[in-house]
C-alpha cells in the first residue's frame, strides 16, 4: 500500500489530469461525489498540515507583515482593479465578471500546499499564505463587497470565513497532534505516502467539481469556451506575474508557492452569499476554473526548475 501511494505521488500530475477527464466524461459519478466536496477539501487541509510542520511554516513576527501585505494586495488590490476594468467595459454584472471578482477576492485555495507539493516545490509559503489570507478574509471582503453589491451582505461572507477558520483550526490541530505522535510521518517514507494520499484526494475532489462541464460540452454550450478563456487568463496570468515579481523581489525560494497562491483561490466560500439563481449560474464557471487549477503543477514545476 505504501509503495502504491508513493507511486501515485511520483505521477501526481498525471493523476490530476485523469481526475479532470473522469469528471468531464462521467457526469453521473460527478453528481454522486458532489456532496463529498467540502469534507474532501477539509481532508486536503488536514493532509497538507500533516505533510508540512505548521509551526515551522507559520510566519514569524519579522515576516508576518510581508504575508499580510501580500494578502491585502491579492484579496483587495486585484479584485478592486478587476471591478474598475469590468465597470469600464460594462461587464460588472455578467456571470464571467462576477466569477472573475470571486476568484480574485478569495483567500488562497485550501489545497494550495498540496498543489505546491505536486509541483515539486516548498509548500511552506503556500501554507503560511493560506493561514494569513483566510484569517483576514472577513476584513478584505468588505471593500470588495461594497463595490460589488451583487454578492449580498458582507457579514454573511464574514461569518462563513469565521466558520472556515474554525475548520482550519480543527483540521490543522488534529494533523499537528498526529504528526507529533507518529514520527514515521515525518520521515521520507511517511511523507511520500502522505503525498500519494493528497494526490488521490485532489483527483477525487475534481470529479465532483466538474459536474457542470460534461453536460456543457455535450450540448455545445458556447459559454463553456468563454469561461475557459477567462479562467485560464486569470489563473495562469496571476501565477506568471506573481512568480516574476517574487523573483525580482529577491524571493526565489518562495516564488513558486506564492505564484500558486496568487492564481488559485477559494471560490466555494462565497457561494452562500450569492443569490440562488446567480450561484446556480456560477457552476459552469467554477467547473472550468478547476482545469487551470489542476494543470498548475505542469506550469509551476518546469517554471521553477528553469528559474533555479
Is residue 212 situated within a structural domain?
A: yes
Residue with grid cell 475548520, as numbered in its chain: 167
| pLDDT at residue 136, as a whole number | 87
| 77 is a domain residue | yes
Instruction: Locate 251 and state its grid cell.
Output: 524571493
Which residue stretches of 137-212 are H helix? 137-147, 154-181, 188-209
Residue with cell string 498525471: 14
Q: Extract the C-alpha cell encoding 182.
A: 507518529
- Residue 307 in any domain: the answer is no
Q: Which three cell numbers stand for residue 148?
A: 460589488
pLDDT of residue 286: 86
Sign of the Cα pseudo-torsion (172, 155, 67, 267, in order): positive
3-state helix, strand, coil in the chain (%, to 5): 85, 0, 15
* pTM of the full structure: 0.80
- 76 in Cβ contact with 143 (< 8 Å): yes
* 3-class DSSP string for 116-136: HHHCCCCCHHHHHHHHHHHHC
pLDDT in tens, the chain (308 residues): 777 777 777 777 788 888 888 888 888 888 888 777 778 878 887 887 787 766 666 777 888 999 999 999 999 999 999 999 999 998 888 889 999 998 999 989 888 888 898 888 888 899 889 888 888 888 888 888 888 767 666 677 677 667 767 877 888 889 889 988 888 888 888 888 888 888 888 888 888 878 778 788 877 787 889 999 999 999 999 999 999 999 998 888 889 999 999 999 988 777 666 777 777 778 889 889 988 988 898 888 888 887 76
Question: Is 282 within the bounds of a domain?
Answer: yes
CA distances from 261 to 75, 93, 125, 128, 190 (A): 11, 26, 9, 10, 25
Range of the domain at 52: 2-302
pLDDT at position 46:
87
Name the residue with cell 505548521.
Answer: 54
308 within a domain of the structure (yes/no): no
- Report the pLDDT value the prediction gives residue 3, as an integer from 0 to 100: 78
**Number of compact structural domains in the chain:** 1
Sign of CA dihedral 235, 236, 237, 242: positive
Report whether 202 contacts 36 (CB < 8 A).
no
Cell of 293: 487549477
Residue 78 resides in a domain: yes
CA quadruple 240, 243, 249, 250: dihedral, nearest 10:
-140
Query: What is the domain-level CATH number for residue 74?
Result: 1.20.1530.20
Write down the pLDDT at residue 153.
67
Amino acid at each position: 500500500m505504501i509503495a502504491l501511494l508513493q507511486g501515485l505521488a511520483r505521477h501526481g500530475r498525471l493523476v490530476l489530469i485523469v481526475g479532470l477527464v473522469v469528471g468531464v466524461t462521467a457526469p453521473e459519478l460527478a453528481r454522486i461525489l458532489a456532496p463529498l466536496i467540502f469534507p474532501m477539501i477539509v481532508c486536503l487541509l488536514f493532509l497538507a498540515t500533516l505533510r508540512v510542520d505548521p509551526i515551522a511554516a507559520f510566519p514569524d513576527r519579522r515576516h508576518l507583515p510581508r504575508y499580510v501585505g501580500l494578502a491585502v494586495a491579492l484579496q483587495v488590490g486585484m479584485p478592486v482593479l478587476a471591478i474598475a476594468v469590468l465597470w469600464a467595459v460594462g461587464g460588472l454584472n455578467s456571470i464571467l465578471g462576477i466569477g472573475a471578482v470571486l476568484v480574485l477576492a478569495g483567500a488562497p485555495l485550501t489545497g494550495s500546499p498540496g498543489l505546491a507539493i505536486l509541483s515539486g516545490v516548498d509548500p511552506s509559503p503556500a501554507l503560511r499564505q493560506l493561514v494569513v489570507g483566510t484569517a483576514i478574509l472577513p476584513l478584505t471582503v468588505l471593500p470588495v463587497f461594497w463595490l460589488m453589491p451583487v454578492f449580498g451582505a458582507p457579514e454573511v461572507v464574514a461569518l462563513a470565513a469565521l466558520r472556515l477558520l474554525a475548520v482550519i483550526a480543527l483540521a490543522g490541530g488534529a494533523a499537528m497532534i498526529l504528526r507529533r505522535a507518529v514520527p514515521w510521518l515525518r520521515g521520507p517514507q511517511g511523507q511520500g505516502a502522505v503525498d500519494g494520499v493528497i494526490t488521490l484526494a485532489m483527483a477525487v475532489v475534481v470529479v465532483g467539481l466538474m459536474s457542470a462541464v460534461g453536460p456543457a460540452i455535450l450540448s455545445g454550450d458556447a459559454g463553456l469556451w468563454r469561461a475557459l478563456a477567462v479562467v485560464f487568463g486569470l489563473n495562469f496570468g496571476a501565477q506568471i506575474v506573481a512568480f516574476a515579481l517574487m523573483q525580482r523581489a529577491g524571493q526565489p525560494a518562495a516564488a513558486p508557492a506564492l505564484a500558486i497562491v496568487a492564481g488559485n483561490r477559494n471560490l466555494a466560500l462565497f457561494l452562500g452569499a450569492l443569490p440562488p439563481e446567480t450561484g446556480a449560474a456560477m457552476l459552469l464557471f467554477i467547473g472550468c476554473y478547476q482545469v487551470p487549477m489542476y494543470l498548475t503543477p505542469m506550469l509551476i514545476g518546469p517554471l521553477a526548475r528553469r528559474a533555479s
